[in-house]
A and B are shown apart, each in its own frame.
Chain A
Amino acid sequence: MTLAPKKRGDLPLTPLSCPTEGSMGNTGSWRTFRPEVNYSKCTKCTLCWVFCPDAAITRQQDDSPKIDYDYCKGCGICANECPVKAIVMVREEE
């Protein structure tokens, strides 16, 4: 995790930014719909993992997907591309 500067003395001589998960904050809050995986339908083809623009899907040991809801933007690509429709998009509660 990056240490954000608190005072001028913390600054590098020119802006050098460190690799950080959540560089844009909690992007999961952007969602209107969330993807939900039906693991009994899932064939572990890994397509959802390949196509997630946000790297919010991790490919687990058994190749099934794990979705990080802190960062998932709810774009729906995973649901759209799943060949067996094991992922459905569910509206977020208010």
Chain B
Amino acid sequence: MVTMKELPKEEYLLKGHAACAGCGAAVSLRLLFKALGNRVFLIVPACCTTVIQGPYPYTAFGVPLQNILFESTAAAASGVVAALQQRKVKDVTVVGWAGDGGTADIGIQALSGAAERKTNFIYICYDNEAYGNTGMQRSGLTPYGAWTTTTPSGKKERKKDMPMIMAAHKIPYVATACASFPLDFVNKVRKARDIQGTKYIHLLAACPTGWRYDTSKTIEMGRLAVQTGLFVLYEVENGKFKFNPPSDRLIDKSKRKPVREYFAAQGRFRSLTEEDIVTIEKWSDEDWDHYRKLASECL
């Protein structure tokens, strides 16, 4: 486990970029580069990160970054990886960095294809649970009951379980993470880098603009998601499920904070009814049961 002070001082997300104040994705990007350094090719579809770069002729990124079409992050990665293989370039990590829309909705086909082809790259979905770039419309990863501009009375459908979808592809490494647990995320990225094949990391990226909370609370919000059990930190390595701290200590539901604390903290859940909260809690309990079974099978 790396320590805070061992994280390198070099920045490859340069200050003065265009992200909103308090952006969870921006913290995550800084941590990505702390994990990998600058020998990275970043592939970025249409998403918040497109805009974070700033406009031509400037970019806030200190690594080679290929902007690409919305639905095809993983396809571009397949091409880049194949080229690097042909050129026998070994010490560059190819990272697909996409939002939840570009991952679970319009981008899922390309991602599924690349995973099935065992493309050797790290795919990171930074999930701010809506289409952030275009102004917070709902995505397939928007949670049940959340306000977005296209679900003004709250989303009526459940969030897709992207990490489990990727685990079903039987790729060698799937993990969930959050910038609020920075060392856990850095370790997961470094672990992924050293594995051959398709690696998928699902990052919860708190978003003050879309989730409606004060910009200062981004790290707190990610922490609360984990503490309430609504977001679970885990890895599936070669099919073996493992809880990560602190989620490993939250298998006992009494140790979790009440889910309503999470909803009360964000304006986007304003329209949740008591019935909604009960339903969401039930689904969360079911997910935990499922994970617990997976974990016990792997002991």
Contacts and interface: CB of A to CB of B under 8 A. Distances in A.
A17 B58 contact: yes
Nearest to A19: B62
A74 B21 contact: yes
A70 B216 contact: no
A25 B4 contact: no
Interface string B245-284: 0000000000000000000000000000000000000000
Interface string B178-192: 010010000000000
A22 B55 CA distance: 11
A79 B57 contact: no
- Name, among A2, A20, A47, the residue most crowded by chain B CB atoms within 10 Å (CB to CB): A20
B26 to A, nearest CB: 4
Given A25-B16, A68-B15, A76-B216, A53 B27 contact: yes
A76 B22 contact: yes
B219 A77 contact: yes
Interface residues of B, number: 40
Given A26-B16, A55-B30, A19 B216 contact: no
Interface string A6-49: 00000000010111111111110010000000000000011100
A26 B5 CA distance: 29
B11 A55 contact: yes
A73 B179 CA distance: 19
Nearest to A51: B219
Contacts of B4: 45-47, 50
Contacts of B56: 15, 17
Nearest to A59: B9
B217 A24 contact: no
A33 to B, nearest CB: 9
Interface of A: 2-5, 15, 17-27, 30, 45-47, 50-56, 58-59, 63, 68, 70-71, 73-77, 79-81, 89
